[in-house]
Amino acid sequence: MRQAEPTRVVLIAEGATSHAFKESVAKELAQGNCLYFMAWGSECEAWHDAVDMENIEQFEFKEIPEERFIMTTWHESEPLSEVFWFCKNSAFHSTVDLKRTVLLHVAPEPREQQLLQQYAEA
């Protein structure tokens, strides 16, 4: 089911996950209205690749309409604060206005307040 509002997503991965889990999350994002995906942390390149592949498969390996193209980046060597700054200041879609941002935290322990504070300060 598609989300009502186009969204940018920052994935904060703090620990390894299975390939199947990554694919499942990527499918939800691609079928939703995620149009900009930034991966940070553990296995961030694999997360990036999973979202890219799902977006490609969603359109059966044919041309992806620009308004459904998911821009993806991974931030392996950057501090999370820089990724949050990038999200706020540079993560724009070429044709769709993204007003909604989701922080998706994949970790064994929650850090919601700390992450929200860090994002607010970026």
Question: Is residue 71 included in any domain, yes or no?
Answer: yes
Residue range(s) defining the domain that contains residue 44:
7-121
Go through 38-70 and write b for each residue having 16 or more CB atoms within 10 A of its CB, e for each that does not. bbbbbbbeebbbbbbebbeeeeeeeeeeeeebb
Contact at 8 Å (CB) between 54 and 24? no
CA 51 – CA 9 distance, rounded (Å) = 11
* pLDDT (tens digit per residue) in 11-63: 999 999 999 999 999 999 998 899 999 999 999 999 999 999 999 999 999 99
> Can you give the pTM of this predicted structure?
0.94
pLDDT beyond 70 at 2: no
What pLDDT, in 10s, does the model give residues 68-97? Answer: 999 999 999 999 999 999 999 999 999 999
What are the distances in angstroms from CA 48 to CA 5, 57, 114? 21, 14, 24
Answer yes or no: is 2 within a domain: no
Task: Count the domains in the chain.
Answer: 1
pLDDT of 64 over the 70 cut: yes
> Looking at the domain assignment, is residue 90 inside a domain?
yes
CATH number at 54 reads: 3.40.309
Answer yes or no: is pLDDT of 3 > 60: no
